[in-house]
Structure 1
Amino acid sequence: MNITKKHVLIGVSAIALLLAGGFAVKSFTSTPKLVVAKAGDGHDHGEGEEHEEEGGAIRMDAATITRSKITLVEAGPAPVSRDIRVTGTVVADADKMVHVTLRVSGIVTEVHKRLGEPVLPGDVLLVLDSRDLADAKAEYLSALRQNTLAATTLSREEGLWRKQVSAEQDYLTARAAAETAAIALAAAKQRLTVLGLSPAEIAGLDKQPFSLGRLEVRSPIAGRVIGREAVRGELLAAEKEVFSVADLSSVWVELPVYAADLPAVKEGQPVSLTGQGGRSAEGKVVAAGATLDPQTGAARVVAALDNGDGEWRPGDFGSGSIQAGGEMADIAVPASALQVLNGDNVVFVRNAEGFEPRVVEVGRRNSRFAEITFGLFPGEQVATGNTFLLKAEASRGEASHSHAH
Structure 2
Amino acid sequence: MARFTFKLPDIGEGISEAEIVAWHVAVGDRIEEDQQIADMMTDKATVEMESPVSGVVVELAGEVGDQVSIGAALVVIETEGDLSAEEAPALAPVTTELKAAPPSAEQTEVAEQYGAENPGVRGGAPSPLPLAGGDGGGPVPQTQSSPAKTALPPPTPPASGRGVEKILASPAVRARATDLGIDLADVKTDSDRVRHADLDAYLRYGSGEGYHAPHASRARADEPIKVIGMRRKIAENMQAAKRHIPHFTYVDEIDVTALEAMRADLNDNRGARPKLTMLPLLIAAICKAIPDFPMINARYDDEGGVVTRHGAVHLGMATQTPAGLMVPVIRDAQDRNVWQLASEIGRLAEAARTGKAKVEELSGSTLTITSLGPLGGIATTPVINRPEVAIIGPNKIVERPVFVGDEIVRAKLMNLSISCDHRVVDGWDAASFVQLLKKYLETPVLLFAD
* TM, length-normalised to structure 2: 0.20
Bigger helix share: 1
Bigger Cα Rg = 1
| Structure with the larger RCO, 1 or 2 (CA within 8 Å, 6+ apart) | 1
In the superposition, the TM-score normalised over structure 1's length comes to 0.22
Q: Which has the higher strand share?
A: 1
